[in-house]
Structure formats: structure tokens, C-alpha cells
Amino acid sequence: MNRRNFFRNTAIGSVALTGLASPFAAEASGSVTSNSAQFKLKYAPGFGMFREHAGNDPIDQIKFMHDQGFRAIFDNGFIGKDPALQEKIVNELARRNMDFGPYVLYADFSVKSMVTRDPAMMEMLRGKMKDAVELAKRTNVKQALVVPGRYDEKLAWDYQTANVIDAMRMCCDIVGPEGVELVMEPLNAHTDHPGLFLTTIPQSYMICKAVNHPSCKIVNDMYHQQITEGNIIPNINMAWEYIGAFHIGDNPGRREPTTGEINYLNIFKHIHSKGYNGVLCMEHGKSIQGKEGETALLEAYRKVDAF
């Protein structure tokens, strides 16, 4: 599966994959040492995930993540950061040859947005897409997450589906010329997000087929999909051509792999065998707090990456 790697073309330099010395290792009281062995897949921590070891500065956190073998990060709130900080972040990632997962461009769980033909909603979406284009021009960040919003109890489901298809095609037409990819996220209605329109991988796949635009993709959040429908590996296979990114989180609890029922070792092995070179965002909490919890998280990812 070929995806744009915006850092490949903008990299300032290369960093050796071995022999790195971590400035944070000594602070970990022996719990974490420099481990530059690269993970097989691009698991992407978020800012704050290793704050106890790396401190509050996002650049120091990137350095720590890279030193522990990660080759990607994600930041849902990236578009809201100060432009100077945005550029500082992407420059540091480029220098370390690290990828950036999709940020949240539009995800309002409280309104009926794409399911309607409301002109005000369509104008709002156009504005969001223009923001994504401007961000891509400044930072070369070209993957953004969108959620179609709530369903409408008063409108037939097929009409709502047609409206979402039209809305996504309009959005893709705006961002496509800049090479921006929109990843739709289906979310579970049982535990976290009752009332939303988009909930399953097959539903997302059908919309991508109908939109028929290279910018229209899916983010497969395996935490949500385990709750909604399970059958994770078969659905990955069926929707493969449209999967632009993954989200990780075990169930129940939405914490790191090995804490719940999902067999991430087998899933990651399968994704790797298909040649996936994209980002897998670590969109989950930790089962243990403090430095001990950060160390346990690192150990968990080494276990599920050992295939």
C-alpha cells in the first residue's frame, strides 16, 4: 500500500538507526534505557505519552520517542497549535525521518453535519477543508481525520448516506489538489459515541467506493471496531485499498496492547505482512500511571512487535 510520506521529500538530514544515546535514560532511574532498535511498524505515540521520562517540551518528547525506536507520532490537536510550534515539530520529525499520523480536522459529535444538505453545514465544511489546505502548504502535513457527525432520526438512512457521499466528495475536491488525504473514522455506538452516523468498516468502505476519490480513505480504529463488530483481520483485508491509517487501543479499557482481549501480536503481524508503511496512532491511555506505566507501555509494544 503506497501512501505519501511527506517527510521523505523534506528531510533535513538522516539519523542513524543504531548507536543513539538517550539524554533521558539516566533520568529513568534504570527503568528505561536507550533502545534505538526500530519497531517493525510505525506505531505513533502522542504528545504527553512519555512526559514522565521526556518532560513537557514536545521536541524533547519527539527525541525520546525516536530514541526508543518509534518512527512516527500523532497529534489530534495539531491544527490548533501555534504555527511556529507546528513548523518546529515537523522540522524535528523531518530531521529524524519520522512520520506524522492524521490530526483531527473535523469531529463534532453533537451535530448532524454531513448527513444533511444544510447549506450552513456545507459552508462550514468548506472552511475546514480550506484550513487543511493552508496547513498542508505550510507544514506538508497531508493526512486529516473527519467524522460525519450524528445521524438524523427523521431522515431515511439511504438519504443520509447519499448526503455523506456528496459531502465527502465536495471535501475531497477541495483538499485533493494539495495532496491532502481525508480519513473517515467509524466510531463505536455502544461504549463511547451513541448516535453517530459512521460506525463500521464496511459502511466506511461503501462510502469510499461511492465517493471514488483518491483523497477519501478510512482510519481503522481497532479499539472501536472490536466493540462494534470484531472480525478485525477480515475487515482489514476487505477494506484494505481504502485504509489510510490505524488507531490502536485494547478493549476493554482503551489502554495499551496486552491489557485487554485484542490479539495485537497477530494483527500487527498481519498488517506488516501486507506491506503496510503507514502510521498506527497509539490513541489510548496507560494501565499504570507515572514512569512505571510508561515503561510498561514500552514493554507491551516490544511484545506485540515481536513477530
**For residue 51, what pLDDT is reported?**
98
Pairing of strands 243-247, 279-281: parallel
pLDDT of res. 11: 38
pLDDT the model gives residue 54: 98
The model's pLDDT over 108-117, given as tens digits with 9 standing for 90+, comes to: 999 999 999 9
Which cell is 123 given?
A: 459552508
Please state whether the peptide bond connecting residue 45 to the residue before it is cis, i.e. omega within 30 degrees of 0. no
What integer pLDDT is reported at residue 175 of this predicted model? 98
Q: Which of 147, 135, 231 is nearest to 179 (CA)?
A: 135
State the fold for domain 25-304: TIM Barrel (3.20.20)
Q: Which residues contact 104 (CB under 8 A, 6 or more apart)?
A: 76, 77, 79, 144, 145
Please tell me the predicted confidence (pLDDT) of residue 31.
Answer: 54
Which pLDDT score is estimated for 208? 98
**Entry pTM:** 0.89
Cβ 245 vs Cβ 76: under 8 Å: no
Contact 249, 43 (CB under 8 A): no
Low-confidence residues in the chain, pLDDT < 70: 1-36
Model pLDDT, residue 36: 65
Alpha-carbon span 209 to 238, nearest angstrom: 12
- Compute, in degrees rounded to 10, the torsion defined by CA atoms 200, 203, 209, 213: -60
CA dihedral for 128, 132, 135, 137, sign (positive or negative): negative
Domain boundaries, the chain: 25-304
Q: What pLDDT is stored for residue 147 in this prediction?
A: 98
At 254, list the grid cell: 482503551
All three cell numbers of 78, joined, read 495539531
